[in-house]
Amino acid sequence: MNQTKSDQLLQMPRGQLTRTSLITRFTVIAIVIAGIAGLFAYAGGWLTPHALKPASIINTFQKVNGLHPGFRRNHAKGVCVSGYFESNGRAVTLSKASVFSPGRVPIIGRFSLAGGHPDAADAPRTIRGMAILFKLSDGEEWRTAMTNIPVFTAKSAQVLPDGIAPSDDPILSTRSAAYSVSFTRREGELKEPSAISTAETEK
């Protein structure tokens, strides 16, 4: 039976068999190339031109605050510190993280003011930030970033660029109180945006 099938295949026209094989192979190759090209296009952002990218947020800060070479686009004014976090070991009952074991963990930190102006005034109403890098003994790093506002006005990174408003006041370079109210109402970020605006205005 097998010998008969082999003889039949050998007797088939060579040109027809080759043409069918070539079409199949070229089709597979085209699909593979198109798939690879699609992946490159997706990774390069060509298929999602309106998707949020780090560069778009950075450019928005620069557009609002201007270019200050050598300084960050946001939280431009700040001071760096180094030291250690000393744990008394009492938190080991709550967490197995090594940072809570008794002893010291080296840290690097930065205290900063919100906004892209390196000469912003150290006024009480200025939003303040604190970033800490914990350097654990096993080489692992913990990074934290915090601000002193009760809530963050943007519910997601996608709407953050729209919430960065221009302001003539360097203290509120990235947070115009009036704009914040309209932005939060439009985007539904906060149920009561006026509470934050009023608190900032009274300070």
Joined together, the tokens standing for residue 164 give 């960065």
Q: What is the pLDDT of residues 41-89, one digit of tens each?
A: 888 778 877 777 788 888 888 888 888 999 998 899 999 999 999 999 9
- Kindly indicate the confidence band of residue 13, based on its pLDDT and cuts at 50, 70 and 90: low
Q: Determine the pLDDT at residue 186.
A: 52
Q: Determine the pLDDT at residue 12.
A: 52
Q: What is the pLDDT of residues 156-197, one digit of tens each?
A: 777 777 666 554 444 444 444 444 444 444 555 544 444 444
Interatomic CA distance for residues 193 and 185, integer angstroms: 7
Strand-pair category, 128-135 with 141-147: antiparallel
Say if residues 130 and 111 touch (Cβ distance below 8 Å): yes
Distance of CA 75 to the CA centre of its chain: 16
| Residues 109-132, mean pLDDT to the nearest whole number | 90
The residue among 178, 152, 150 whose CA lies nearest residue 166 is 178
Q: Express as a percent the part of the chain with pLDDT over 90.
A: 32
The residue among 109, 105, 97 whose CA lies nearest residue 136 is 105
Q: Determine the pLDDT at residue 48.
A: 77
Say if residues 163 and 180 touch (Cβ distance below 8 Å): yes
* Single-letter amino acid, residue 151: V
Q: Determine the pLDDT at residue 10.
A: 53
| Residues 1-29, mean pLDDT to the nearest whole number | 66
Q: Determine the pLDDT at residue 6.
A: 54
Q: Determine the pLDDT at residue 178.
A: 41
Burial class (CB in 10 A: 0-12, 13-18, 19+), 103: middle
Give the length of the chain: 203
Mean pLDDT of the chain: 76
> Could you tell me which residues are beta bridge partners of residue 202?
none
What are the helix (H) ranges across the chain? Answer: 2-11, 14-43, 54-65, 160-163, 177-187, 193-202
Phi, psi of 181 (to 5 degrees): -65, -50
| Residues 15-19, mean pLDDT to the nearest whole number | 61
